Amino acid sequence: MGLGQTLLTIMALMLMGRLILTVNRTVLEVGSTKDVAEYRITATSLGTSMLEYAHDLAFDEATVDTFLTSTQVSSLTASASFGAETGETNYLLFDDVDDYHNYVKIDTIPNSAIFYTTARIDYLTVTPPTSFTTTTSKSFNKMITVYVTSPYMMDYSLDVPVQDTLKFRSIFSYWYFR
């Protein structure tokens, strides 16, 4: 075997090694992308589920069994008192939207990951046509913000990956017409 054949063999082995490394890297990236997508889909399901549960509830503790008129805004729950009332130990027992304030739910999905879902409730001041500002003043508008995170959800778009959090919002308004 001459020098030329040896060089060709070495170059062929280098080319084959480079090809194998490229294929392996591509397979690993596809697997990672699939996992990230799966975690985000699951997190989206958990976040929207919490919003859907909240949409089935009364606007406020003061509106659970009665109707308020536009002059009775002072009857609403103070923002400092948001949260579950006595006896409301889990979300299935909540009767109004602000019971979700500071609520934390931990979901362990078999063969997947652990997800942490938290919620925050704020009153809103509405400035037409499309401006909303959170406030501590009582109003007939509330916003729920749901955050879903998991140690397995990472944002790889940054140089140093950080844990990713999905955020969902919905606005609730109280309307009463005679």
State the average pLDDT over residues 88-113.
90
Q: How confident is the model at residue 14, as a pLDDT?
A: 86
Query: Does some domain include residue 24?
Result: yes
SS3 31: helix
Q: How confident is the model at residue 1, as a pLDDT?
A: 62
Q: Which residue has the higher pLDDT, 26 or 86?
A: 86
Query: Does some domain include residue 162?
Result: yes
C-alpha angle with apex 23: 20 to 26, nearest 5 degrees?
150
Q: How confident is the model at residue 29, as a pLDDT?
A: 67
Q: How confident is the model at residue 123, as a pLDDT?
A: 95
Q: CA nearest 75: which of 174, 178, 157, 149?
A: 174
Q: Which residue has the higher pLDDT, 51 or 131?
A: 51
Q: How confident is the model at residue 31, as a pLDDT?
A: 63
Q: Write down the residue that tokens 């940054």 correspond to.
A: 158
SS3 137: coil
Query: Does some domain include residue 53?
Result: yes
For 29, the token pair is 């990236």
Is pLDDT of 178 > 60? Answer: no
Query: Does some domain include residue 178?
Result: no
Dump pLDDT digits (tens) for 9-51.
888 888 888 887 877 777 666 666 777 888 889 999 999 999 9
Q: Which residue has the higher pLDDT, 4 or 124?
A: 124
Q: How confident is the model at residue 177, as a pLDDT?
A: 59
Strands annotated E in 7-140: 104-108, 114-127, 131-135
Domain that holds residue 121: 3-173
Rounded distance between C-alpha atoms, residue 75 and residue 65, angstroms: 13
Q: Which amino acid is it at 40?
A: R
* pLDDT confidence band for 70 (50 / 70 / 90): confident
Q: Which amino acid is it at 81?
A: S
State how many domains the chain has: 1
Rounded distance between C-alpha atoms, residue 149 and residue 98, angstroms: 21
Q: How confident is the model at residue 19, as a pLDDT?
A: 81
